Amino acid sequence: MYQTFNHLPDLNQQEQLNHLARIITDFLDVNAIIYIGSLTTTTVIKSCFVHGGMEGRYRYEYNLLVIPRSGETREDYELQDLIESRCRSFARVNATVRGSEAILDLFRKGCDFFGTVFHSGCLLYRSDQWVIPSAPEQPEDRAMKAGQDWDLFYGDASGFLAGAEFYAGTGALRHAVFLLHQAAERICSAMIRVFTGLHTSTHNLSKLLQYTRLFSMEPSAIFPRNTPEEIRLYNLLFKGYSDARYRQSYRINENELHILIDRIRQLLQIAQRLCTGQLKRYKLPAQVTG
């Protein structure tokens, strides 16, 4: 694991990451905080008064793994929400929270996400008592596991999309948007497993899309959220998991539903292209050495 930030593309992130680590350790007892990755958004000013354009402010989004100390009674998702909320005034953070025991159990089940993070991530904080867990010497074949996950999750997502199209045809719009959310959730989870090995359990579509930005901007670009109309459209899908089923105030019209169906269809196409390419890359070393 890296101990310095010399490998990062932008060295001025060191101060920000150190500050985020202090924010987290001020309210939570942790074994370690590890930097996984970041997304940098630059504001560029172009006008007839500025020759060649001018860069403005930078905005950072950080992905962090936080390992709480043994004895923590709150659920991982509760700690994730708390960390992200506490850090929000300083920077946007996508937190992954797992205990050391849970990580060891995931190692035994063949999850190599944490092995990659421990090898290539950057250590922001470590308690004196914590020792980096060791991955199994012979982990399960990643190409085979990723291929199995892809086949299962893509099949599920395709089935949910077909179900949404069926309900749209019968006028059951709320049922349709729920299944669209299921399709989006499943296909995002498929991409995350194929590219990172991380097994997600959240129904939060925004968090899943944040994870996909660890390896591609294409999935989240399907939902730009850059106008009031686009924000409303995304929120209709985001709330499709719970509000579409349980709240009478939830409303979606046929035009909005068909736009979302088309977006999810595009999402599946992007996922198929990205994951097919990644699965081929996993198999390439074995083919070359064979």
**Mean pLDDT score, 148-170:** 97
* Residue 9: per-residue pLDDT: 47
* Residue 142: per-residue pLDDT: 79
Could you tell me which CATH class the domain 13-126 is placed in? Answer: alpha beta
CA distance 99 to 257: 40
For residue 285, is pLDDT > 80?
Answer: no
Token couple for 1: 């694991």
Which residues make Cβ contacts (< 8 Å) with residue 227, sequence separation at least 6?
none
- Helix intervals (H) in the chain: 13-27, 76-87, 100-108, 113-120, 142-170, 173-196, 205-212, 218-221, 228-238, 243-246, 254-289
Is domain 142-289 annotated with CATH 3.30.420.40?
no
Per-domain residue ranges for the chain? Answer: 13-126, 142-289
Strand partners, 86: none
**Cβ 147 vs Cβ 286: under 8 Å:** no
For a pLDDT cut of 70, what percent of the chain falls above it? 89
Which helix (H) or strand (E) covers residue 253, if one does? none
* Residue 1: per-residue pLDDT: 64
Q: pLDDT digits over 255-267, tens only?
A: 999 999 999 999 9
Confidence of residue 10 (pLDDT cuts 50, 70, 90): low
Token couple for 274: 């990205």
DSSP reduced 3-state for 46: strand
Which residues make Cβ contacts (< 8 Å) with residue 103, sequence separation at least 6?
67, 114, 133
Q: Please choose, from the candidates 12, 124, 106, 3, the residue with its C-alpha nearest in 3D space to the C-alpha of residue 63.
A: 124
For residue 119, is pLDDT > 80?
Answer: yes
Q: pLDDT digits over 229-256, tens only?
A: 999 999 999 999 999 999 989 999 999 9
Neighbours of 147 (CB within 10 A): 16
User: Which pTM was predicted?
Assistant: 0.86
Average pLDDT, rounded, for the chain: 89
CA distance 90 to 71: 28
For residue 57, is pLDDT > 90?
Answer: no
CA distance 146 to 281: 12
* Residue 203: per-residue pLDDT: 94
Q: Please choose, from the candidates 45, 85, 39, 97, the residue with its C-alpha nearest in 3D space to the C-alpha of residue 213.
A: 39
For residue 5, is pLDDT > 60?
Answer: no
Q: Please choose, from the candidates 78, 81, 79, 36, the residue with its C-alpha nearest in 3D space to the C-alpha of residue 198.
A: 36
CA distance 194 to 267: 15
For residue 139, is pLDDT > 70?
Answer: no
**Mean pLDDT score, 190-215:** 95
The region of weakest confidence among 5-14, 44-53, 63-72 is: 5-14
Token couple for 34: 């590890």
**Mean pLDDT score, 201-224:** 95
CA distance 58 to 220: 19
